[in-house]
Amino acid sequence: MSKKNIDTKIDSLKQANCLTTDASSTTNQPKSPLVERAVARSGLPYEAFVRLLTQGAFRGVVAWTSSDLDRLLMASERYGLDPLSREIFMLPSNSEPTSPLLVAVGVDGWTRLINAHEQFEGLEFAESAELEQGVPAWIECTIYRRDRRVPMKLREYYCEAKGEHMFWLTHPRRMLRHKALVQCARVAFGLTGLYDPDEAQRTRPTKLGESRFIGAQKLAEKIGAPLAP
C-alpha cells in the first residue's frame, strides 16, 4: 500500500471515530451510551477522557474506528478494567498502520481480573529445577477457587512460551511467570476474547510474500519431519 493510500485510509478512519478533542464539535456530536458511561466512570471532563484514552489505550495506534472503540469499551465494562491506566488497550494485528486492532490486557489487568473474581481463593507458583539457558524449564501456576474442590494447575514451558520481545531477553523468568498466570486464569475463570500483549504480537501474520507452502516447509524443517510431496 502506497503512503498516499495509507494517508487517505487513515484520514477516513479518523473521520469515522466517535471521539474527538475538537472543542467546537464535542457539543454537537452525539456520543454513544458506551462512551457516556465510560466518561462517567472516569469522573473526568470529556476532553480529558479523550486525551488520556488516546495516550493510554490507543497509544501507538495510528487510527481506529468507532467499532474498535466500542470493542474496547465493551470489554472494559464487562471485565471492570481501566483503559485510561492501560489495564486494557488496543494493539494493531500487524505492521500496517490501518491493520485490524486486537483487545489486549496487560499483566496489571490480569491481576485485577483474578483478584476481583468472587470465587478467587489464592494462587501459587512452582518452577522447574531444570534450567534452559539459565531459565527454569517450566513455571506452574495454581489457582484456588472457593467453589471448586480441585485447584486449577497449568504449566508453561520456556521452550514453547519464549517470544521475540525484548523482555524475553531482559526478564525471561518474569515473562514465563506471567504466561503461566495468564493461561491459568483464562482456564480457571473462563476468560475469553482477551489477549496478553505477547500473544497479540504472536497473532501477527508472517512477512508478506511468504506463501503457505514455504511456511509449512519451514515448520516441517523446524520439527524435523519431512513434508509430504
Whether residue 193 is found in the same domain as residue 158:
yes
Whether residue 122 is found in the same domain as residue 187:
yes
Whether residue 86 is found in the same domain as residue 164:
no
Q: State the DSSP H helix or E strand holding residue 218, giving kind and residue range, or none if neither.
A: helix 212-223
Q: What is the pLDDT of residues 135-180, one digit of tens each?
A: 999 999 999 999 999 999 999 999 999 988 888 999 999 999 999 9
Whether residue 47 is found in the same domain as residue 8:
yes
Of 57, 90, 123, the last residue of a domain is 90
Q: State the DSSP H helix or E strand holding residue 90, giving kind and residue range, or none if neither.
A: strand 88-92
Does residue 97 belong to any structural domain of this protein? no
Whether residue 136 is found in the same domain as residue 190:
yes
Does residue 16 belong to any structural domain of this protein? yes
Does residue 222 belong to any structural domain of this protein? no
Which residues form the domain of 11? 1-90
Map grid coordinates 487513515 to a residue.
10
Q: What is the pLDDT of residues 51-66, one digit of tens each?
A: 999 999 998 888 888 8
Measured distance CA(132)–CA(148) in Å, rounded: 34
Whether residue 72 is found in the same domain as residue 119:
no
Measured distance CA(193)–CA(220) in Å, rounded: 30
Q: How many domains does the chain have?
A: 2
Q: What is the pLDDT of residues 11-36, one digit of tens each?
A: 544 444 545 544 444 445 667 888 99
Model-level pTM? Answer: 0.72
Does residue 193 belong to any structural domain of this protein? yes
Whether residue 10 is found in the same domain as residue 57:
yes
Does residue 217 belong to any structural domain of this protein? no
Q: Which of 120, 177, 180, 179 is nearest to 151 (CA)?
A: 120
